[in-house]
Amino acid sequence: MKNLENPITFLTNKDPEEPAIIAGPCSAESKEQVMATADAILSKGSAHIFRAGIWKPRTRPNSFEGIGEEGLPWLTAVKEKYNIPVSTEVAKTSHIEAALKHNIDLLWIGARTTASPFAMQEIADALRGVDIPVLVKNPVNAELALWIGGMERLNQAGINKIGAIHRGFSGIENTIYRNLPMWHLAMDLKRVHPEIPVICDPSHICGKREPIAHVAQHAVDLNLDGLMIETHINPDVALSDSGQQLTPDSLDSLLSNLVTKKEYSTKAQFEQKLEYLRAKIDRLDDELVELLKGRGQISVEIGKLKQTEQVTVFQQGRLDELLELRKDSAKKKGVNPEMVEDIFKRIHTESVELQCNLQHEKED
């Protein structure tokens, strides 16, 4: 991507060590609700950027679909009163035209929109020639390329102040989360594009209030660049996402309990200790690689044996047995059995590959 600039640094003059805080209601509902929420958050200085959804992509029809253009002057009023950037979600050309007309400072693209390349292209085309910061939420499905692809479309249309919002991914399993965090995808994005700030949205990850503070701390511990937290003056009567919005007071206490951290320390004693422990980890990791090599060699021998006996490479029973044995052993040793299961599924896939390749070599 070309000429990327940090949208948060562009909009605010916050301390670069502190996470950027974007707060405000899920939806703008009335002028009174927007102003009361803004007053309660901003009089305490609890946010760097104010948010409110004007057009709401709802899962089912006949729910509150946002107040529409009528609500944009309420955001402008917050901006004027507190001299703070304001932001809203846009999903199509008409939204962008209206948001620009009302001098909205920052646009974000919702998760359902990022999932659609046609919609992203329409947005990019509507923004061609406009200099406005845009944050792109991860698509609902766990696909990093689609997330990056959305940002690339904007960048190719000339948008260069691009940030990302990690709001979790839909999953079929029943978990404590509304959207699975799958933190590794946010970390992968940071690795591929370290110049793009990633803001975590714990509200949509959690779907309920209680775990939000914990998830927010986790994001900060992973060195993500900020938090977008839905905050409503009276969450219980909110017209959307009622269960996950915080009151301004609980936002305030979340932020004051948040332990912010720096990525590095210059203290010699700390550095020495870290280096010593990392050297130990590196030795163990190398042994793991050595063990995997030995395991691969035995797997090839097994493959040859199966070949002479015309036995299939994959045997479901053996995989099930192997996973059960390793999970049991993990449990006994106090190691997370789910992690062990994931690792051994991958190791087993590799074994199957090795043995299949043997078969193909013979055919060649």
- State the residue number with the nearest CB to ligand PEP: 110
Q: In angstroms, give the least distance from the CB of 257 to Mn ion.
A: 23
Residue 91 or residue 159: which is nearer to ligand PEP going by CB?
A: 91
Query: Which partner, ligand PEP, Mn ion, none, binds residue 252 by CB below 5 to 8 Å per kind?
Result: none
Contact letters (x/-) for ligand PEP, 9-48, by CB under 6 A? -----------------x----------------------
Q: In angstroms, give the least distance from the CB of 186 to ligand PEP.
A: 13
Locate 218 and state its tokens. 């986790």
Position among 19, 53, 202, 303 found at the interface with ligand PEP (CB under 6 A): 53
CA torsion through residues 36, 33, 212, 139, sign: negative
Query: Which partner, Mn ion, ligand PEP, none, binds residue 167 by CB below 5 to 8 Å per kind?
Result: ligand PEP
Task: Determine the Cα–Cα distance for residues 5 and 159; give it in Å rounded to an integer.
Answer: 10
Spatial contact of 162 and 7, defined as CB atoms under 8 Å apart: yes
Contact letters (x/-) for ligand PEP, 191-230, by CB under 6 A? -------------x--------------------------
The residue behind tokens 């406009």 is 130
Residue 26 or residue 98: which is nearer to ligand PEP going by CB?
A: 26
CA distance between the termini of the chain: 43
Task: Give the contacts of 39 (CB within 8 A, at least 6 positions apart).
Answer: none
In order of 155, 327, 329, the CA distances from 332 in angstroms are 51, 9, 5
Residue 236 or residue 263: which is nearer to Mn ion going by CB?
A: 236
Residue 233 or residue 340: which is nearer to ligand PEP going by CB?
A: 233
Query: Which partner, ligand PEP, Mn ion, none, binds residue 209 by CB below 5 to 8 Å per kind?
Result: none
In order of 11, 130, 235, 280, 294, the CA distances from 277 in angstroms are 40, 50, 46, 5, 26
Q: Is 178 in the site for ligand PEP (CB under 6 A)?
A: no
Residue 71 or residue 110: which is nearer to ligand PEP going by CB?
A: 110
Task: Determine the Cα–Cα distance for residues 175 and 261; give it in Å rounded to an integer.
Answer: 29
Position among 7, 24, 85, 110 found at the interface with ligand PEP (CB under 6 A): 110
Locate 173 and state its tokens. 């399993």
Task: Determine the Cα–Cα distance for residues 213 and 216; give it in Å rounded to an integer.
Answer: 5
Residues within the interface to ligand PEP (CB under 6 A): 26, 53, 57, 110-111, 137, 167, 204
